[in-house]
Copies of this chain bind each other. A is one copy, B any other.
Amino acid sequence: MIDDKHAVLLIKCPDRPGIVAAISTFLFTHGANITDLDQHSTDDEPGAYFMRLELQTSRLDKPLDELRREFADQIAEPFAMEWQLGASHMHRRLAVLVSKHDHALMELLWEWKRGDLPADMQMVISNHPDLRAPVEAFGVPFHHVPNAKEQRASAEDQMLGLLEGKADLVVLARYMQIVSPEFIRHFPNRIINIHHSFLPAFVGADPYRQAWDRGVKIVGATAHYVTADLDAGPIIEQDVQRVSHRHAVEDLKSIGRNLERRVLARAVKWHCEDRVITHGNKTVVFA
């Protein structure tokens, strides 16, 4: 429902009776018909409550901005909600960081170009110059920012200069450099990485070789939000494929490329459609 007649409400708050009644009555009163609603509450005490709600905006009795102010006062404040209410055609601004492997990047560019990824592709930044031509062929700006270990700080400064105020979501599409905690702090739960293994198996370097050494019969890929704790951030999506003794390490890498682009594309799409809420080190995904 990506058009100018819908909005998405995303909520996280302490669980208690009456949340659905309060929200749905508020929306009904203001002419906002609910077209989709998904919710989740945790079992612990006190529980946490999560909701994603799609609503039609065509018959609202006031502009969305004004509705937001009233929702804040009348509903969000009393229920202590973290929330957002966005028109579904107001796209997230996306920046992709990449090194030399193009498969995950190309998948995002094609999905975006085809209209399957509701986002504004702002720029691609790479520590290598190699992918300039294919990126610019999509009409997307390409920035080459070298980022060797010894120049990390200045490289990240340069990237932050490019990104801040321009990107709502940063996607690491096989960006083979460490990202510093300082950098991450600018984009809390707004950096998505694709890890080329079925986390938490095979953290660290060269996971396909690790997988091959262990003789697993299934390999996977994991998309997760980046936190200061390497490879340990909240998992958004995973997928797997069967392998056998016939597959050499290179075969696993080739199979993995297909997994990585699929998994990353799904995770980025869900984020851009306001389907993901983080909670501690986990995610609620209303897919």
Contacts and interface: CB of A to CB of B under 8 A. Distances in A.
Nearest to A41: B35
Interface in A212-241: 214-218, 220, 234-240
Nearest to A220: B218
Contact of A17 (B33, B137, B214, B240): B33
Interface stretch (A21-29, A62-70, A82-90, A121-129): A21-29
Interface in A148-182: none
Interface stretch (A3-11, A72-80, A183-191, A278-286): A278-286
22 contacts: A18-B28, A20-B20, A21-B24, A24-B24, A25-B25, A35-B41, A37-B39, A40-B246, A106-B110, A114-B257, A198-B198, A214-B235, A214-B282, A215-B234, A215-B282, A216-B238, A217-B236, A240-B240, A244-B285, A245-B282, A245-B283, A245-B284
A103 interface: yes
A116 B114 CA distance: 23
Contact-size category for A: 35 or more
Interface string A81-121: 00000000000000000000011001000100010100000
Given A20-B28, A37-B37, A198-B201, 8 more contacts: A17-B31, A24-B25, A38-B38, A199-B214, A217-B236, A217-B237, A244-B285, A245-B285
A34 interface: yes
Contact of A216 (B20, B36, B235, B258): B235
A200 interface: yes
A235 B265 CA distance: 29
The DSSP consensus for interface residues of chain A is mixed
A133 B216 CA distance: 37
Nearest to A212: B282
Contacts of A134: 137
Nearest to A101: B114
A45 interface: no
A12 interface: no
A196 B17 CA distance: 37
Contacts of A285: 217, 244-245
